[in-house]
Each structure stands twice: as C-alpha cells, then as structure tokens.
Amino acid sequence: MRILLWHVHGSWTTAFVQGRHEYLLPVLAERGADGLGRARTWDWPASAVERTPAQLREESIDLVILQRPGELELVRSWLGQRPGSDLPALYLEHNTPGQHPCAQRHPLAERRDIPIVHVTHFNEMFWDNGVAPTHVIEHGIVDPGLRYTGEYASGAVVVNEPLRRGRTVGADLISAFAQDGPIDVFGMQAKQFVHSLANAGVNAHEDLFSQDRMHSELSRRRVYLHPMRWTSLGLSLIEAMHLGLPVVVLAATEALSAVPAGTGVLSTDLDVLRAGFRLFVNEPDAARAAGLQARAAALGRFGLNRFLRDWDQLLDGLTGKE
C-alpha cells in the first residue's frame, strides 16, 4: 500500500520504512518540521520517497499515519481530504503524556474514526485515550550487529537537548555518575549541557554522526547509561542493547519491563545504579557478559521482523488490503 507519513522521529521511521510498502514523505523547500523529507543520517530504502504538497495531491494514498495534531489540518489543506472519513488514518503516539501523568487527555481522544497507536503499553495506560480505539505496537529496530568492544572505561548517554529538558531526561543525575567514571554525552546541544556542568568527567559529542557512526562510537564505551525519568522507551536504549552494551537504567516508564535481569542494572535507587555503573566501568568481563545478555533480550523482543509483522497486521485491518 501507499502510506503518507511525516519524518518526525528518525529512528522509528528508519525501522518502519523497511517494510513492503511505499512510503510518501512530505518535503518542503526549507526542509522544516512539516517537510523534512528523507533522512540524511540514516540509510532508508528507495521505497521511501519524497513528495511536495502539490505532488501529494495527485497521488493515490491508501492511509496516512499522523504523529502530531497539526497534521490533521495539513492533510485537509494539502490533499483536500479529511483523515478518518475521506482517508484511512491512524495516530502514532511516541510520547508519554507531557503535562500530567494520569489525567492528560489525548488530542485525538474524541475521535472514534482514528485509532491511536502507542509505542509502549505504559503510554497506552497513562494517556486518557477517551473513546478513540487504541493499539500498542512496540518498537523494533534494524539490527546494527554486535559491535561492542568496551575499549574505553567510560559510560555513554544519548540524549538531545539535555540542558533544556533537564530532570525529565535525568540530566541532573549525570554529574553523580561522573564521580564513578567518565561519561560521554551524545546528542544535540550536548556541548551546551557539558559547559554548564564545569565537570571534567563529562564529555560532549554533538549529534554530527551518521547513525552508523554513532553506533560504532557507543560500542567503544564500557556501559550505556539511561537516566530518563519521564520519556517513552528510548530507542537509543534498545539500540545500545542490540550493540551489546550492558545498561544502567532508571526504572521508570516502560524501561521497567524492557530491561530483564542479567542485562545490567535497573533501579530507582541512585546508590544501586551508581554501584552498577562502577562495576561495569571497572570490570570488563562483567560488562561484556551483561552486554551479550542485553543483546539477546533486545533481539527477542524488539526485532525488526516482529515489528513489521505487527504493523502489517494492523494496516491490513484498517485498509482491507494485503
């Protein structure tokens, strides 16, 4: 089928466009948020094609995947069709509720004609979805392969805009872990964050790499640190597990079920987390053993084939096509 979706979440879209469909990605001259087109740091197949709004109006589209409330109006404006009534649609919700953990109403809570698809069971449970039908399709990723070397006795964190996002992503916790070993922070505006710390134990790596290059750099670090308090299950965590890194993870949101025993340390006790971080930084054999278990767990639950199969089942049901 031919699916319209915006390039909103690069890592998620990288997995989704590996399927058997044709993926139409809006592109604008300035390549802003409503028209990024194809990714430039991920390797996407030829079936993911760019289309201007004018070109989209001439296309035959089977379904639109919405990811932001404003896309409802973009579809009406660009295609002259109403999502849900004129054009089959679903709303993909990537995030935890941002304003209230239990009482926040989803933007599509009043729509019976547009299902909401959550990427974690935690998100489905905590959003107030109203009368909208809901589904959960957990993440899947393209396997980057076992790359772990752990040659640097340091931890790695992947987080965008840590200074702005603060406690939400556990940015305030990073300095504590840096007392137990060096930490490399990867992501947009990492340098700004590190400069604010004045901490020699934390180093910044701006998000200038291709995804493949960043995976290789992560694999050289001894342990992956995931201090996020209130985010959806980060794909960077799943990617690190695929790469073979042991993980030290704050037991919050869906991470509680995604990180099984033997793959690292999962806790809300900072002392327990720091002890685990020290162990992996200083004990390469223990780090490697936990990392191999982390990879096996990630492949079993977040493999690409399961992800695409789940999506095809849902899409076929919504459109009547196979």
188, 117: one domain: no
Q: CA-CA distances (angstroms) from residue 163 to 100, 158, 159?
A: 21, 13, 10
For 113-134, the pLDDT digits (tens) are 999 999 999 999 999 999 999 9
Do 224 and 308 lie in one domain? The reply is no
User: In the structure, what pLDDT confidence band is assigned to residue 322 with cuts at 50, 70 and 90?
Assistant: low
Give me the mean pLDDT over the 182-204 stretch: 89
31-71 pLDDT, tens digit each: 999 999 999 888 899 999 999 999 999 999 999 999 999 99
Say yes or no: 261 and 166 in one domain: yes
Whether 37 and 110 map to the same domain: the answer is yes
Q: 119 and 78: one domain?
A: yes
* Distance from C-alpha of 293 to C-alpha of 174, rounded to nearest angstrom: 25
Domain that residue 29 falls in: 2-140+304-319
Number of folded domains in the chain?
2
Do 169 and 70 share a domain, yes or no? no
Tokens 């704050």 belong to 250
Residues 160 and 291 in one domain: yes
Q: Is 160 in the same domain as 298?
A: yes
Report whether pLDDT(207) > 70.
no
Task: Identify the pLDDT of residue 43.
Answer: 83
Considering only residues 319 and 14, tell me which one the structure prediction assigns the higher pLDDT: 14
Co-location of 255 and 293 in the same domain: yes
Task: Enumerate long-range contacts of 168-175, CB under 8 Å, 24 or more apart.
Answer: 168/228, 168/229, 168/230, 168/231, 169/227, 169/228, 169/229, 169/231, 170/227, 170/228, 170/229, 170/250, 171/227, 173/227, 173/250, 173/270, 174/202, 174/225, 174/227, 175/199, 175/201, 175/202
What is the model's pLDDT at position 269? 98
| Claim: this prediction has a pTM higher than 0.85 | yes
> 122 and 86 in one domain?
yes
Statement to judge: residues 258 and 310 lie in one domain:
no
Q: Is the dihedral of CA 17, 126, 239, 203 positive or negative?
A: positive
145 within a domain of the structure (yes/no): no
Which H helix or E strand runs over 228?
none
